[in-house]
Amino acid sequence: MTENTTRLDHVVLWVRDPIAAADFYEKAVGLEPVRLPEFAAGEEPFPSVRVNEETLLDLMPSAMAERMRMLPGAADSAGHPVNHVCLALPQGDFDTLLARLTERAVPVSDVSRGSFGARGAATRSFYFRDPDGNVVEARHYD
């Protein structure tokens, strides 16, 4: 990729408890929390978790919905999660995630093969929900 390539920077997920959500994404999914101590200290409006060096999932407290004024109707998006967010992982990390979720009794879908994504047909994929009901797909490509 070059610096001029369009990339996904972040996705904002509505969550009831950002600290609990960050804990889930760190311990169950394996993503690194960002700005969590600052959020807990009241210094930042929300924490994030790092997907990779250039992509974050922002964990926006749903209680902040009424303050969303960046465009008309923005506050109405609270409680309306996106259909799902997909994480593409190396095969070993995919297997580790599936095992970690199973170990923590997080319900997961059946593993499917060949679903279409940004890099073509995935070798395997599955879905799970975070504690706030946001749906996450995990996949790997060979």
Is the pLDDT at 74 greater than 70? The verdict is no
pLDDT at 69 (0 to 100): 59
pLDDT at 77 (0 to 100): 61
More confident residue, 40 or 3: 40
pLDDT at 78 (0 to 100): 62
Residue 86, helix vs strand vs coil? strand
Question: Mind listing the pLDDT tens digit for each residue in 77-135?
Answer: 666 656 789 999 999 999 999 999 999 999 999 999 998 888 888 999 999 999 988 88
* DSSP letter string, 97-125: HHHHHHHTT--B---BS--EETTEE-SEE
More confident residue, 3 or 36: 36
Confidence of residue 76 (pLDDT cuts 50, 70, 90): low
Question: Could you give the CA distance from residue 94 to residue 73 in angstroms, rounded to a whole number?
Answer: 37
Is the pLDDT at 73 greater than 70? The verdict is no
This prediction has a pTM of 0.77
Question: Could you give the CA distance from residue 78 to residue 16 in angstroms, rounded to a whole number?
Answer: 10
Question: Mind listing the pLDDT tens digit for each residue in 15-72?
Answer: 999 999 999 999 999 999 999 999 999 999 999 999 999 899 999 898 877 766 555 6
